[in-house]
Structure 1
């Protein structure tokens, strides 16, 4: 693999795990991190993350690995997924948290990886999937559509939204809003991934019939472009006078209509405010109120 290139799990599985020469049985659970050859490791075939992204930010792993990878033994993994035996090859350990570290080690020439073995993570399928999903959810480099797919997998495995929310330590509203992104037309999912379509707009479009979503998005963009053009032609004083006054009560009513939970509000504020705005907001929230 070239330096600084994107890596997927299929490529990684061809570099480690499947090529392992190891044929000795697993010897239980390690109490402390240990360093093992990459040939004894395989990436989790059930990792909800298909694309491991650009590994350039992990090039330092050639010298220092700051955090060990969380793995389970081959036997523990195959008790849950016996059908994955070909996918993991002869590997002794399956990486549950740390697949990017494993890929970076293979990519940049590190021959071994520090690991900690916790077979309790493989107590059942839900626990194993939750461990993999929790590691990725919320990461800035995690594709939002992959995140939605991961959350959906969790709901399917748990059978209910309530149980999935509990396992992921998220609200039911957050779970539902993430899954709603999977209802978007492929063109809109691609636009989210490229940053052309904001998540808050995408959630609204997901409520529109599938066949009408793209047209509605284009219509909304045209209106925004026209509004921008009109705004540029007017003076600052004109723009201020045309806008209705924004009050705390109006904002509160809008939040109530959306049934927004704290995580969604935080996402919206991060998208809406610039750095100075966020600092001002933080000062207001932390200042004593009379």
Structure 2
């Protein structure tokens, strides 16, 4: 699933699997319209902040998809200590907390919901549902994503179980967790878009006390390289000839890495832009 897309209830069916209670609305689960006063946002929402809600201003007229909720009793069976946080609400919103906040912010008095207590069968499933909704969203930055993944691992007990819940590879899980090893300064830079994810993953392997210095050195090297590229070249010099990249060379590199398909797919997703991914998909389709 491409970063920046929104996960809806139909998409969850393909993401989580046929046997998960997170994946699709209950049979006959027709959306019900209820007052906002009867809804409480999930106290265990993995997001630090709900972000800018301006993209949801249209909710005052149209709600494109219902919020996924569980009943008060189902939620409190898992988290009885949260009773004061949900107040007198009849339902707790698991997927759709931003829609709830937007409705409150822009003056919509009610919200369409689908009640599905199967999502609250255990803490792992409830947290997985909340994490899945947010992973890959443009407004869910990678540090929030990494923290959410870490929460799920702690709840599940193992990386393997968390990876299965999210339908992600262990490599993807490890890459996200590594970002939590960055110093606060670098995490802030990553969230602001000043630090690329690819660079951040490399810096996470450096001892914390050396990370900022290594990053500053790398930025200075890149700055000097950019300046040298902008200097006019001597017409008498022949431009450096670019070494062609062949399929054989790339194949040899893949063999040296000994990476599984999931890791290769993740690497290509990080490396290619949208046009590149479409071209890659077309090329693969033509060879099958």
With normalisation by structure 1, the TM-score equals 0.82
Shift in CA distance, 254/206, structure 1 to aligned 2, threshold 3 Å: farther
Deviation at 1:251, TM superposition (A): 3.6
Correspondence 1:139-288 to 2 at 5 A? 139-233=137-231, 235=233, 240-241=240-241, 243-255=242-254, 257=257, 259=259, 260-270=263-273, 275=275, 277=276, 280-288=279-287
Shift in CA distance, 183/258, structure 1 to aligned 2, threshold 3 Å: farther
Q: Distance in 1 between matches of 2:238 and 2:283?
A: 29
Q: Distance in 1 between matches of 2:174 and 2:257?
A: 16
Offset from partner CA, 1:65-119 (integer Å, 9 cap, x none): 1100000000000000001011111111000000010011001100000001000
With normalisation by structure 2, the TM-score equals 0.82
Where does the alignment leave 5 or more consecutive residues of structure 1 unmatched? 1-28
Give the structure 1 partner of residue 19 of structure 2. Answer: none
Offset from partner CA, 1:252-284 (integer Å, 9 cap, x none): 4555538434133212213xxx74x55544543
How many matched pairs? 256
Q: Secondary structure at the match of 1:84?
A: helix
Deviation at 1:53, TM superposition (A): 1.0
CA contact (8 A) 1:55 1:104 kept: yes
Where does the alignment leave 5 or more consecutive residues of structure 2 unmatched? 1-26
Deviation at 1:238, TM superposition (A): 5.2
Q: Distance in 1 between matches of 2:138 and 2:173?
A: 18
Q: Distance in 1 between matches of 2:48 and 2:110?
A: 23
Deviation at 1:245, TM superposition (A): 4.1
Q: Distance in 1 between matches of 2:239 and 2:181?
A: 37
CA contact (8 A) 1:30 1:116 kept: no
